[in-house]
Amino acid sequence: MSAPSLVERDRAALWHPATHFGDLERVPPLAIVEARGAWLTEESGRRILDGIGSWWTSVHGHAHPRIVAAIQDQVARLDHVMFAGFTHAPAVELAERLLELGPREPDADAPFYGKVFYSDCGSASIEVALKLSYQSRVLRGQTNKRRFAALQNSYHGETLGALSVCGSPAWREPFGALLSDALYLPTPEPARHEHEDLDFRGPCPELGADSPEAERAVATLEAHADELTALIVEPLIQCAGRMRMPGVGFYRRLAAACRRLDIHLIADEIAVGFGRTGRLFASEWAELAPDLLCLSKGLSGGALPLAATLIRAGFEADFHGGPERSFAHSHTFTGNPITCAAALASLAVFDEEQTLARLPERIEAMAWLRRELAERHPQVVAHRQAGLVAAFVVDRARGPADGRLGLALREAAMARDVLLRPLHDALYWMPPLNVGPDELERLALVTSEIIDEVLPR
């Protein structure tokens, strides 16, 4: 009898995220043995184009030599030390760099952020921001301000605190009895969103700011300001929410309302930070700096789990004094030297390869392919783009009778050696920022083929 394959051993031992057990027969996990650039290699030698940056993490492509070398060098010198009572150069240097690079208020000379709090994943960085906001109110004696506001259709992670501010019932409802009561605001969904719409000084100024949803959202904030400690927002793209793009003007208007009403603004840039929208941070498009900025995914270049919460300068003042005013939150691997070294190397790659300066050409190439594909396919009922993120909403009525449209599209793409993971009726592209023209064309070709296969004309 032959030894079981890796996939068979996986099936016997593992429970995969975002995976129905029944789907494993239809779309079993693939055994990946190597990854380079935008490509994954299966144990059989089959190469698969990673069209979604492995869940939005890979900003410079897999196994970038600069990041690999930094990891190897660091692990040989210092693998880990507890961060309570100790420090080390990678953590300090990364914090200094993030504070220097973080979004600033218009015409500001000094950095807006004063402290960095490290954690292990995106959900944890959200938890840190929520708890900091709430505890600061308690320390100020504002004990009535204990509720959070969030946007409908939003996603912020799956730990219980983060889940409490997810505006999508599909994630919240199974655990509803365990969650705090957040206030959800309506979110606009413009019929079309072009990359150029991110420039609120451009041809479509303040997109979303004068929408009916913006009017209702601001009115709701005003009506509940006395009980709200913070509003959490995904700037510019609600990624897990079918890549909805509410408009930079909507974000700016919410931020202005929060400042006027003494409501902290928490920006969840876990998915959209580090160049995804064409700038290092999505909030830069709105020319604003949120009070608390949550980062992960691309922070380490997608190589290792690392998260950070950037905290407005002066925010920490409320936590000074006696030990009873301490922020009682910790993670075992806070500020791990290896992950911090990877993140420093990733930021260096942005400079050395002029990644942001080279993005406009790739963004325009993606835009041309997106528009051309949408024009040729009547099955596409809406399409949109922000930076190097593009999405196509397809006519779900044409989909399979079992309702598993997203699974069928993913299966058809994988049969063509391309990794796409649609969000039900929203097909999207989010490749590495250094994706090549041939790889973009391959993404467009396969997307065209699977739309025609799964959604007959």
- Cα–Cα dist 139/131, whole Å: 12
Cα gap 239→244, rounded to integer Å: 7
Distance separating alpha carbons of residues 313 and 307, to the nearest angstrom:
19
Output the pLDDT for position 191: 80
Q: Name the DSSP class of 264.
A: E
Q: Is the pLDDT of residue 200 over 80?
A: no
The pair of structure tokens assigned to 274 is 């580090």
**Spans of all domains in the chain:** 31-60+357-454, 71-352
Whether residue 110 has pLDDT greater than 90: no
What residues pair up with 183 in beta bridges, in sequence order? 149
Task: Look at the alpha carbons of 7, 8, 9, 11 in this order and tell me if their dihedral is positive or negative.
Answer: positive
Structure tokens at 149: 């506001």
Do residues 275 and 31 make contact, with C-beta atoms less than 8 angstroms apart? no
SS3 49: strand
The number of beta carbons lying within 10 Å of the beta carbon of residue 325 is: 12
Confidence of residue 36 (pLDDT cuts 50, 70, 90): very high
d(CA 31, CA 42): 6
Q: Can you tell me the distance from the alpha carbon of 279 to that of 50, in angstroms, rounded to the nearest whole number?
A: 22
First to last CA, the chain: 48
Mean pLDDT within 232-244: 96
Taking residues 9-16, what's their average pLDDT?
A: 92
What value does the mean pLDDT take over residues 180-185? 96
Same fold, 31-60+357-454 and 71-352: no
Structure tokens, 143 = 């004990």
CA angle 111, 114, 354 (to 5 degrees): 50
Mean pLDDT, rounded, of the chain: 95
Alpha-helical regions (H) of 17-121: 23-26, 53-56, 65-77, 89-101
Which pLDDT value is given to residue 391? 97
Which tens digit of pLDDT belongs to each residue from 405-422? 999 999 999 999 999 999
User: For residue 397, with 0-12 CB atoms within 10 Å meaning exposed, 13-18 middle and 19 or more buried, which class applies?
Assistant: exposed
Other Cβ atoms closer than 10 A to 92: 13
Compute the average pLDDT of residues 385-409.
95
Give the per-residue pLDDT at 406: 95
H-type helices in 248-395, by residue range?
Answer: 248-261, 337-352, 355-376
- Measured CA to CA in angstroms, residue 102 lies from 57, 153, 282, 312, 313 at distances of 19, 26, 10, 10, 12
Q: What is the pLDDT of residue 158?
A: 93
Helix (H) or strand (E) holding 426: strand 426-429
Answer yes or no: CATH 3.40.47.10 is held by domain 31-60+357-454.
Answer: no
How far, in whole angstroms, is CA 220 from its chain's centroid? 26
Q: pLDDT at position 336, please?
A: 98
Query: For the ranges 19-28, 73-82, 87-96, which has the lowest average pLDDT?
Result: 19-28
C-beta of residue 58 within 8 angstroms of C-beta of residue 304: no
pLDDT at residue 112 greater than cutoff 80: yes
Please count the residues of the chain.
Answer: 457
pTM: 0.96
Q: Average the pLDDT over 325-354 and give the result.
A: 96
Name residue, tokens 């100020």.
140
- For the cut 70, the answer to whether the pLDDT of residue 205 exceeds it is no
Collapsing DSSP to helix, strand or coil, 380 comes out as strand
| SS3 category, 254 | helix
224 neighbors 149 (Cβ within 8 angstroms): yes
What is the DSSP secondary-structure string of 158-212?
Answer: SSHHHHHT---HHHHGGGGGGS---EEE-----S-B-GGGG-TTSSSTTTTTTSH
**Is residue 203 pLDDT above 80, yes or no?**
no
According to DSSP, residue 29 is labeled: P
127 pLDDT higher than 80: yes
Q: Are 405 and 454 in contact (CB under 8 A)?
A: yes
Q: What is the mean pLDDT of residues 264-285?
A: 98
For residue 315, give the nearest of 146, 110, 115 by alpha carbon.
115
| pLDDT tens by residue, 283-322 | 999 999 999 999 999 999 999 999 999 999 999 999 999 9
| pLDDT value, residue 353 | 97
Average pLDDT over residues 181-192: 93
Q: What's the Rg (C-alpha) of the chain?
A: 22
What is the topology classification, in CATH, of domain 71-352? Aspartate Aminotransferase; domain 2 (3.40.640)
Secondary structure of residue 251 in the 3-state scheme: helix
Structure tokens at 93: 């240097």
pLDDT in tens, 45-72: 999 999 999 999 999 999 999 999 999 9
What is the C-alpha separation between 383 and 447, in angstroms, rounded?
13
